Amino acid sequence: MSLLARPLRAVVCTVLVLSGCVTAGPAAADEPACGHGRALRYVVTFDRGTPEATARSQITGACGATTVYYPQIAVAVATSGDSGFGERIGLDRAFSAQASRLAAQRATDTVKPQPARAVLPATDPAKVPDADLSARQWDMRMINAGKAHAFTDGSRDVVVGVLDSGIDPDHPDLAQALDRDDSAGCLTGAPDRSTAAWAPTTSVHGTHVAGIIAAADDGHGVTGVAPGVRVASVKVIDDRGYADPEAAVCGLMWAASRHLRLTNSSYFVNPWTLSCIRGNDRGVVHEALARAVEYSTAAGTLNVAAATNEAVDLTPSARSGSPGAGSGCEALPAGLRDVVAVSAVGSDRVKAGYSSYGLGVIDVTAPGGETGECVLSTVPGGYAPLCGTSMAAPHVTGVLALLASKDREARPRQLRRTLDRGAMPMPCPADYDLTGDGTQDAYCAGYEEFNGFYGHGMVDALAAVAPRGRPDPAR
């Protein structure tokens, strides 16, 4: 699942997007005879420190072609039309989300052409409604965003990479915030700076996320958590809703190379229907993303990610299957160390039923909404409500952008510690029976200051930027 928005709850599409064919000359005596099928993309991990020439040579020798190599983390993106490429390069080192989906479709006899999603029409700024919609932004009031703007609305020196499906460059609430120079498309695994590569084509998701972070405070439409900062469109979700590992690695590495202070990942990388550990392929994906996150963090970029809408317990040490013991699932990138993982609550401040959770995984929580009262934000052509952890994560990213604006020298771990200290603690609910059938729908482990539902608590924009932290509520 890539897009984490509701009420149209995201599901994994069953469409395989394939590129052209790979051709090769006659094989030498000591080289394998390469197949000539449709080219599939692979993410390939090498031993750290592997020179680029060595990596390219190994990929070529396995009947592949190198798209890009990231020497900082020894991860490559390759294509091959040979079905044996993975085995030749090593199944413990190479993984193709495209091949995995194709195999799953063949196993269930579902391989058939699927209709493409409708292409979004271009936004005409003059036709975007200009009414003030701030009264409908219950989510911003919940985190004290408006009160925080009395101290700062953010600095244009702070750029947030929105790793998503693209940001509408013509939306009047985002046009001034959009940083085109730092925008790029990453669908092939290599950054492409052309506008066509990073602009949205079929999905409103990225534009919605960007609006939560940085929609202009101009008395029209909606206002973001940090309307004074800028956002870069880093497209990692394709037109079918897939966020493949090579695209995510590219997005993280691009953000680091451009010295972006923050990224927001409102998706999870996974070609399967559930983000659950399974075999060597999961190990390759985890390793590639973990290296990219580790590198970007060291380079000064703090990464925020949605916990997913699968309603599963992501507690890392819980594998027994007993109540409260977790599901053996891992959300990537949210489950990685150094990533700020965000769960979602509804307007009642209770964990949304769809939100995944997990002690030691969830860092903080934020408004994501529930059916009937979702989060209003920008979409191409206007404004619309969406629900999901996708909406919760950018609230946190926006608060961090305010923090980064306040302290220009703060490193990722310092920003994270300040965010956690400023969060409003939220205890586990005494009763979490959402359906009223007498059965708990999820089990919250931990205590008020830190638990599996809410982490350190609800993010608070005012506490982040007020000179003395959160004001005394008695005053």
Phi-psi region of 221 (alpha: psi -120 to 50; beta: other; left: phi over 0): left
Q: Are 309 and 356 in contact (CB under 8 A)?
A: yes
Annotated active-site residue 205? The verdict is yes
Choose, from 390, 395, 456, 460, the residue flagged as catalytic.
Answer: 390
| Nearest-angstrom CA–CA distance, 160 and 234 | 10
Q: In the 8-state DSSP scheme, what is residue 282?
A: H
Direct distance between the N- and C-terminal alpha carbons of the chain, in angstroms, rounded to an integer: 46
Extended beta strands in 360-447, E state: 364-367, 375-379, 382-386, 446-447
Catalytic residue among 82, 164, 168, 173: 164
The closest of 332, 353, 210, 235 to 281, measured between CA atoms, is 332
Q: Report the C-alpha gap between 98 and 103 in whole angstroms.
A: 9
Residue whose token pair is 């830190």: 450
- Strand, coil or helix: 253: helix
* Local structure of 52: helix, strand or coil: helix
Helix (H) or strand (E) run with residue 221 in it: none
- Catalytic residue chosen out of the listed positions 80, 96, 168, 205: 205
Task: Identify the CA nearest to 224 among candidates 215, 234, 233.
Answer: 215
Strands (E), 93-189: 94-95, 159-164, 184-185
Mark whether 390 is an active-site residue.
yes
Q: Residue 327 catalytic? A: no
Active-site residue set: 164, 205, 390
